[in-house]
Structure 1
């Protein structure tokens, strides 16, 4: 079977799992459970907590001890078991710990899937910068498909979303063992220091200014990503409480409206090689930051009726906001690090984005929303919420060009010159 097709199938299922519940868990929480918003902020922080340490640990493991595709499969099988148990939870405290366990198994698979894909493509003589983005598109299509399945079957507030995710995770876990072998590259260690023995070599990247700054801003942008994941679907759902909006299509099927974001991703993924070649990672990341400003700013002034076009435009610019940061960042890591530490380096990237970024983004946004933008009847001041998020993204975009002085790298340019 063609290697590209096999990786396409892997990416499709990888993000179908996440899309089955990530955007709609807020609706499930507030509409079905009725637990508090502050508690929900804690639930979403599990993504960050697990990503702080798990991608790095698994990155070390695949660099030194175990085939990446095998560890990838094990994580998905364990995750499937936990997802299946989520609907059985009856109190928010237990829900937190079960979701955390699920995230412990799922978050490392994001970087492991990249490691497996890059290894398989290189073994097959492919150019990862040219060939990976079209493959990664199918992950986004998988996310879209999951949103549509959950929404059209009216499971946005139902526990069935977790059963759907569990079934696909089990299938992917088993399928992973059929993927091309991706053995550890760092099988011998000349220097017997604790750092080398534990496989922590990738942390030395923090000593290099370009990587230290890159990882720092990765964390800040990771927080922005977390904000839109946590509150986008819930924002549209809340319009059902307004009589003038409750019967509109956008309010009835918010997950489908939000899936425009993922459709946009498929287009911007294809543009990544051109933009990286033309502008370099610095400006590509800056474009991402400015896109986040537009994403949140458009939400602030939108509604499902006359302002629906702003919701749609916000979803369209999301493609640039997400792809120009996440996909380009992983390619930057791939082309700027040595093969022996690439698994660990990808883990570090995920740790900063989905770990520290997601954790602090969830924690701080939950407290800010509860303290300043929640009314006495627990309704939300969404206009103020989105404007504050837009201000956060704008501040990052203004600071970034003056801090990250890295110039367009020759090695990266050569890597994408045939894209």
Structure 2
């Protein structure tokens, strides 16, 4: 692979995740503080990510794989997305905001698969080369958070009250337009299938991999994957509003500690995987999930602020030791025939079904404790965070009891 192609792919990844990180992290804070959204409204808006994840395979499988070059579809999706993001920037109420974000997420979620597809088609040795490309996406997400806190100071208390977080959507719109135009100079990535390919809907969605659920261990892992995404949704939906409410300075920048941790623990994963095995690696991830929320429940922005920072840093273990380890396990269990289908099925179950349930539950719980929030903000958040901690412990117990240890080749 030439240096020019490596640069093009790396910059594509950087822009892709800069866009996502520039508005999604602070979305919950913006909705609550500036649009006065209820917990249910916030849940519905975050749930658009799940709808996007469910619909994405149809866009990629029915259009990108058959009719048009992937880089051209990527460009069109981001150009249209830039317009929708501007409408989100202009929206004045949660009700007005919802259809724009729904349309945007339906278009954005397929781009996550498209940037991977474009990259893999250009790599000679994807197993060795892809991580060097993908890491620029994480760098993009981190720099977006640092820019919000340290360059623009949009997430400071006074700025939030003045509606400065609205500018995150404008920034995302501009960068989305840049990526949309830039996509047309990316390496050519033509369709992999003919327009007349008669693959069924079950093929496109990876439903043929359902046969793997006949394996008891994989079934337990599959159920656990859905269930653990319920507490994960609490973090995405409420971590930033929580840190703002309790008075942490530069919360968006500090949340990038989670992405830095993700890079570090990704390097440590093979060591843990080899030494402790798949089951114990997953259990460590689930324990980290529970500990994260305990840290959030009992930490504060004063003398116990270290607990909040530890909770954020645990994101690397939570994500890498579960999702990446789970991808390795799924790949090993699926075999050659079902590799792609199985990964698609797990993504549909987690980012689609699991997180949709989690967003709904988080909104329901936040609304339930609204009366406490009006009188004691610290107690409100403590009540919110102990629930996903308990869910994570329950899922960990379920996985520990019913999943039988087995050797998995990474």
Q: Distance in 1 between matches of 2:85 and 2:369?
A: 33
Matching of residue 111 in structure 1 with residue 113 in structure 2 = yes
Give a deviation string over 1:274-303, Cα, whole Å, max 9, x none: 444555554433332222111111111101
- Residue 378 of structure 1, CA deviation: 7.3
Q: 1:51 deviation in Å?
A: 1.7
Contact 1:225 1:322 in 2 (8 A): no
Q: 2:230 aligns with which of 217, 223, 234?
A: 223
Distance, in Å, in 1 between the alignment partners of 2:139 and 2:187 is 23
Structure 2 equivalent of residue 174 of structure 1: 181
Is the contact made by 1:282 and 1:408 (CA closer than 8 Å) also made in structure 2? no
How high is the TM-score relative to the length of structure 1?
0.83
CA distance in 1, matches of 2:192, 2:339: 10
Map 1:4-403; keep pairs closer than 5 Å.
4-121=6-123, 124=124, 126-128=125-127, 130-152=128-150, 153-156=152-155, 157=160, 158=164, 159-187=166-194, 196=200, 199-200=203-204, 202-209=206-213, 212-240=219-247, 251-279=248-276, 281-332=278-329, 345-372=342-369, 374-375=371-372, 377=374, 380=377, 381-403=380-402
The alpha carbon displacement at 1:269 in A equals: 2.1
Give 1:337 shift.
5.3
Which structure is richer in relative contact order (CA contacts within 8 A, separation 6 or more)? 1
> Which segment is superposed worse, 268-277 or 219-228?
268-277
What secondary structure is seen at the aligned counterpart in 1 of 2:363?
A: helix
What is the alpha-carbon distance in structure 2 between the residues aligned to residue 117 and residue 282 of structure 1? 31
Deviation of 1:86 (Å):
0.7
User: 1:226 offset after TM fit, Å?
Assistant: 1.7
Structure 2 vs 1, CA of residues 225 and 139 (structure 1 numbering), >3 Å: closer, same or farther?
Answer: farther
110 and 344 in structure 1: CA distance in 2 versus 1, 3 angstrom threshold = farther
Distance 1:378 1:68, change over 3 A: farther
Judging changes above 3 Å, is the alpha-carbon distance between structure 1 residues 133 and 215 closer, same or farther for their aligned structure 2 residues? Answer: farther
Contact map agreement 2:265 2:316 (CA 8 A) in 1: yes
Counterparts in 2 of 1:85 and 1:352: CA distance versus 1, 3 Å: same
User: 1:133 and 1:400 mapped to 2: Cα distance?
Assistant: 29
**TM-score of the aligned structures, taking structure 2 as reference length:** 0.85
Residue-by-residue CA offset, 1:106-163 (whole Å, 9 max, x unaligned): 1222233333333333xx1x142x4433433222221110011112202233211001
- Distance in 2 between the 1:103 and 1:342 partners? 26
Query: How far is the alpha carbon of 1:345 from its aligned partner?
Result: 4.8
Distance in 2 separating the partners of 1:297 and 1:39: 26
- The C-alpha deviation readout for 1:147-185, integer Å capped at 9, x for no partner, is 111122022332110011112222223333333444444
Long gaps (5+) in structure 2: none
Change in Cα spacing, 1:334 to 1:178, as seen in structure 2 (3 Å) is: farther
Question: How many residues were matched structurally?
Answer: 394
The 3-state SS of whatever aligns with 2:309 is: helix
Matched-pair contact (CA < 8 Å) for 1:55–1:348: no
Query: What are the superposed Cα offsets for residues 197-233 of structure 1, whole Å, 9 maximum, x if unpaired?
Result: 7743721101212555444333223333221011111
Distance in 2 between the 1:4 and 1:160 partners? 31
1:246 aligns with none
Maintained 8 Å contact 2:50/2:352:
yes
Structure 1 Cα separation of the partners of residues 68 and 340 of structure 2: 12
**Structure 1 residues 350 and 79: CA distance shift in structure 2, 3 A:** farther
Q: In angstroms, what is the RMSD of aligned CA positions? A: 2.9
